[in-house]
Amino acid sequence: MAVRYIETCRLPTPFGVFEMHGFEESDTGKEHVALTLGDLAGDEPMLVRTHSECLTGDALYSMRCDCGYQLEEALRSIAREGRGILMYLRQEGRGIGLLNKIRAYNLQDHGADTVEANERLGFAADLRDYSMCKDMLEHLGIKRLRLMTNNPRKVKALSSYGIEVVERVELQVGRNPHNEHYLDTKQSKLGHFLAIHQDDDPQL
């Protein structure tokens, strides 16, 4: 999926002053951004998080998932390191969209797990596409990275596009009574690297 670079601006955040780079998919017009911090030059692998949009978790403080917690911890990790990239990808609900995500949540309210809910709606368990990351990273001059993820599919996907993932950095945060079953399902059915009895004390 080809994307084109649009523009860059300064973005002050509680975690540091980032640069925000805007990109647009050539075929669909869908918009994505990359937040960068520090000097991106050099041969050292870059600390990178690819984060798919989650309006409920990222903006509305939902405790049904770990997305908002992961977003904040990724930005903190980049700030601690002094350099890194967070790519924010507009593919809500593992690619099914916001309204279908609400439908899936309703099914979960009535006993389905996160995989079963997507399948009952006629979707695959995970429809996300990471091909846009190749053009975004190439624009930023990044070929080797340390990827913050618990999802082995992300490592495999980026590697298939010729991006060298030299290390997977775990990002286990935000377990709480509202998302325990969700996280356990990601571990058991989607193969995510998660500790089922992870002991977190999430703070919003």
pLDDT digit string, tens, across residues 28-42: 899 999 999 999 998
Find where tokens 């709480």 sit: 176
pLDDT digit string, tens, across residues 166-175: 999 999 898 9
pLDDT of residue 196 exceeding 60, the answer is no
CATH class entry, domain 3-91+128-190? alpha beta
Taking phi first (over 0 means left), then psi (-120 to 50 degrees means alpha), and beta for anything else, what does residue 13 get? beta
Tell me which residues are annotated as active site: 126, 128
- Cα 25 off chain centre by: 18
Query: Which residues line the annotated binding site for Zn(2+)?
Result: 54, 65, 67
Q: Break the chain into its structural domains and give their ranges.
A: 3-91+128-190, 92-127
Q: Which two tokens stand for residue 157?
A: 């996907």
pLDDT the model gives residue 106: 96
User: Secondary structure of the chain in the HEC alphabet?
Assistant: CCEEEEEEEEEEECCEEEEEEEEEECCCCCEEEEEEECCCCCCCCEEEEEEECCHHHHHCCCCCCCHHHHHHHHHHHHHHHCCEEEEEECCHHHHCCHHHHHHHHHHHHCCCCHHHHHHHCCCCCCCCCCCHHHHHHHHHCCCEEEEECCCHHHHHHHHHCCCEEEEEECCCCCCCCCCHHHHHHHHHHCCCCCCCCCCCCCCC
- This prediction has a pTM of 0.90
Look at 125 and 68; give whichever has higher pLDDT: 68
pLDDT digit string, tens, across residues 79-128: 999 999 999 999 998 889 999 999 999 999 999 998 999 999 999 888 88
Q: Whole-number mean pLDDT of the chain?
A: 90
